[in-house]
Amino acid sequence: MRKWEENVKKVVPYTPGEQPQKKGIIKLNTNECPYPPSPLVEKKIKEMAYEDLRLYPEFPEKTQLAAELAAYHQVSEEEIFIGVGSDDVLSMAFLTFFQAGKPILFPDITYSFYDVWADVYGIPFQTKALAEDLTINPEDYLADNGGVIFPNPNAPTGTLLCLEDVEKIVAANQDVVVIVDEAYIDFGGISALPLLKKYENLLVVRTFSKSRAMAGARIGYAVGSAKLISYLNNVKYSVNSYTMNRPSLELGVEAVKDDAYFKEICGRIIATRTRTEERLKSLGFTFPKSYGNFIFAAHHEVKAGYIFEKLKEYDIYVRHWEKERISNYLRITIGTDEEMDALFRALREIIKQI
Ligand code: PMP
């Protein structure tokens, strides 16, 4: 190793799902929405003034997007933090809130960015094993710690913690910050947002990437007490002042305005999920009940790694982790009915060949 290399920060980065550029593939590997964003977003994108791009964007918390989100969730604008996707929001939240020097807690099977942020920011952490049925046990999060984070529904399992259990964790941890990552809450979960009235140590994080079909716009946000949000803004403005680009801030507003479209696409995804569950069962797959826009499924005979590779031959991409406890599972994003039909046909052939 060269001398200069000794003083380089060395981290193992997060590995996102593949983004194959090939045309015509069925992409069920990164939990994107199979439907386009709201028609209001389309209209806006066509009307946007390109000259404005020469100007820096406004600070996100002063934008119409913050006002729309505040109105939508019936909170004040001081209780909203906006970032470049929820990854940015979560990363800033790790940096801001997890400084106790004590291990933060999260599940052993969860969003695999959490340990990466903990490592990059030098935050100690401890993981808590999911139960055999892949659910989170709230009792695991009640002991002394430096903060708690979990997705609800959890990813990649899709399981949901009921509001009483979420409250149990928040109530027991009032000396630290508890972050509930609600990336997938719109697909049938019960949000922790009503708990914000009672707990100033709770931060709820949301994204436009899944249920609002805008992963490419990179919009995420957090809702929390004005005090939490002000701390978050102080850290964020000490790293980069102009994180959100102008077009995304404007397009996000249109997405929030179109609640009917948002509800319609969530409803469609939930209906396709139910249909997919039935068909996967008929092929011999088992999975925990999912509250996300994906299903985490294992086959009782055929190895997940084999199915994963075979599906690529059909131009179908799903997600697979060569990781302890979950190496026999595939995480399958819910696509359109037609995409799920193609998946079903491919799976039937792959399983028949064994
Ligand atoms: N949280 C969870 C649980 C996720 O699965 C994802 C998607 N990879 C994110 C946060 C981040 O999504 P985004 O940055 O697109 O908002």
List the beta bridge partners of residue 180.
150, 204
pLDDT reading at 354 higher than 90: no
* Residue 353 pLDDT: 85
Instruction: Please tell me the predicted confidence (pLDDT) of residue 17.
Output: 86
Which ligand 1 atom lies nearest to the CA of residue 154?
3
Residue 56 predicted with pLDDT over 80: yes
Tell me the average pLDDT across 152-163: 98
Q: What is the mean pLDDT of the chain?
A: 97
Report field, pTM of the whole predicted structure over 0.85 = yes
Q: Does an H or E element contain 126, and which? A: strand 125-128
d(CA 241, CA 234): 10
Report the pocket of ligand 1 as residue ranges, CB < 6 Å.
85-87, 111, 151, 155, 181, 183, 207, 209, 215, 220
d(CA 304, CA 322): 9
- Averaged over 16-38, what is the pLDDT? 94
For a mutational test of ligand 1's pocket, the pick from 207, 219, 243, i.e. the residue with the most ligand atoms closer than 8 A to its C-beta, is 207
Q: What is the pLDDT of residues 77-92, one digit of tens each?
A: 999 999 999 999 999 9
User: What is the distance between the alpha carbons of residues 64 and 84, in angstroms, rounded to a whole number?
Assistant: 16
- Interval 319-350: pLDDT, tens: 999 998 999 999 999 999 999 999 999 999 99
Atom of ligand 1 nearest to the CA of 16: 8
* Contacts of 54 by beta carbon, 8 Å cutoff, 6+ apart: none
Indicate if the pLDDT at residue 300 is higher than 90: yes
Average pLDDT of the segment spanning 126-153: 97
Asked whether the predicted pLDDT for residue 14 surpasses 80, the reply is yes
- State residue 101's pLDDT score: 96
pLDDT band for position 198 (50/70/90)?
very high
Helix (H), strand (E) at residue 230: helix 226-236
Which of the four pLDDT bands, split at 50, 70 and 90, describes residue 298? very high
What is the per-residue pLDDT across 175-192, written as a single tens digit (0 to 9) for each? 999 999 999 999 999 999
pLDDT computed for residue 206 by the predictor: 98
- Give how far the C-alpha of residue 15 lies from the chain's centroid of Cα atoms, to the nearest Å: 14
Minimum-distance ligand 1 atom for the alpha carbon of 17: 8
Q: Residue 271 has what pLDDT?
A: 98
Spatial distance between the Cα atoms of 9 and 11, rounded to a whole number of angstroms: 6
Ligand 1 atom at shortest distance from the alpha carbon of 88 = 14
pLDDT for residue 1: 85
Name 146's Cβ contacts closer than 8 Å, sequence gap at least 6: 98, 99, 100, 101, 102, 103, 104, 123, 124, 176
The pair phi, psi for residue 12, each rounded to 5°, is -100, 110
- Ligand 1 centroid distance, CA of 230 (Å): 23
> Do residues 247 and 228 make contact, with C-beta atoms less than 8 angstroms apart?
no
Interval 82-103 mean pLDDT:
98
For residues 198 and 272, give the distance between their C-alpha atoms in angstroms, rounded to a whole number.
36
Report the nearest-CA residue for atom 2 of ligand 1: 183
Distance (Å) from CA 126 to ligand 1 centroid? 21
For residue 36, whether the previous peptide bond is cis, meaning omega lies within 30 degrees of 0, is no
